[in-house]
Amino acid sequence: MTDRLLAAARAARTQAFAPYSQFAVGAALESADGQIFPGCNVESASYGLTICAERNALFRAICDGARSFVRIVVVTDTETPTPPCGACRQLLWEFAPEAEVLLVNLRGDMVQYTVRELMPGAFDRHQLPPRRH
């Protein structure tokens, strides 16, 4: 893991808007060309509208034109490092199934996976019927 990527995820976590859960999360996504895209969670009183840090970073990267990713760091203030939720895993799968997922807590404990390891039996475009023109 690069120090720069971890620093970006830690910094993003400080910007989280989590007044309801008090669960601030920071993420930093690294593109294949080395760019870093940070993201934090942003909550809504209507919980379904909340956006996770991982998807926030991914959407930011996509908006800036990135499409290929090699790793993501997720930072939480938890006893054990916290993995991405199912929605985040699904979107990471669609863009970066082989990317490293590094989960870190504020104490520095780290767990490492690949997106593929977090998504056994994943659903993607290969399960969709062929498009008709």
Instruction: Give the amino acid at 8.
Output: A
Q: Are strands 25-31 and 36-40 parallel, antiparallel or unpaired?
A: antiparallel
Judge contact between 13 and 26, C-beta under 8 A: yes
Going by the DSSP 8-state scheme, the letter that residue 45 receives in this structure is: S
Judge contact between 84 and 52, C-beta under 8 A: yes
30, 43, 54, 100: the catalytic one is: 54
- Quick check: is 117 catalytic? no
Q: Active-site positions?
A: 54
